[in-house]
Amino acid sequence: MRAPTRFAPPRHRCSRRHWLTHVGAWSLATAGGLPASARAAPYPITAAAMRDAQVAEMGVYYRYTEFGRRAQQEGYRGIAYLFVAFAAAELVHAGNFGRIQARLNVEVAPVPRPEVKAGSTRDNLMVAADGEIRSVDEYYPKLLERVRPEGHADAMAAINFAWATEQRHRDKIRQVQRWSPTFFEQVAKAIDKKTGQYHVCQLCGCTLHLVPADACPVCKEPPRHYRHIEPPA
């Protein structure tokens, strides 16, 4: 099947039943329920890509968690809360990629915690902004192209969910990139002033200030799947 000439956020609906099935498969895998003799995944490229994506997302989760601690220590409460919320979204993405592996009957090995070196909050914010833009412009499009030949619908949906959630914040991230190097304190104060509450969809990772009234704008599932993210104490 020929790949389309441009990428677009997902348009299809991933049913709650499918994701609950994935949760069950994940539980079996992590509990050792899958037999050692389980057949090899019929989607070897997809399985490897999902593992790589899971490791990458967990790395970002740990990085943002540490960045949030540093921001809290330095008194930037709004930025700390932003990192905590984004870390929660990355954890959802990592979980989705792990569940795809379980569905493919491959071992879902624990992801080692990487060593994270946090700089100043100003530097950490720039690192995060640069990483988010690279994810939108490069990482997810390449990941999608990597798995597309095998046509695994759930894997492509998981990638599109992660990609779409980060696309929604692209304009704000560009503003952070533009103004933080010179006007960091003003940016930090603006984030502190405008920060409300964060809510993260546990199916796709979409991060919003308000729970949508009808359905998640990314995965189109009911808003009951959103979880309020507590600000750091």
All domains in the chain, ordered by first residue: 42-193 (1.20.1260.10)
Contact call for residues 160 and 144 (beta carbons, < 8 A): yes
Tokens of 7: 């990428």
Block residue for tokens 């994940």: 26
Query: What residues form DSSP beta bridges with 200?
Result: 207, 227
Q: In a structure prediction context, what are the per-residue pLDDT tens digits for the chain, which is 233 residues long?
A: 434 333 344 444 444 444 444 444 444 333 333 333 345 568 999 999 999 999 999 999 999 999 999 999 999 999 999 999 999 999 999 999 999 999 999 999 999 999 999 999 999 999 999 999 999 999 999 999 999 999 999 999 999 999 999 998 777 777 777 777 778 888 888 888 777 899 999 999 999 999 999 999 999 999 999 999 999 97
223 in helix, strand or coil?
helix
| Dist. CA 155–CA 99, nearest whole Å | 9
| Dist. CA 181–CA 159, nearest whole Å | 31
Q: Does the global pTM surpass 0.75?
A: yes
Q: What is the pLDDT of residue 96?
A: 97
Block residue for tokens 């080692």: 112
Q: What is the pLDDT of residue 186?
A: 87
Q: What is the pLDDT of residue 40?
A: 56
Q: What is the pLDDT of residue 2?
A: 37
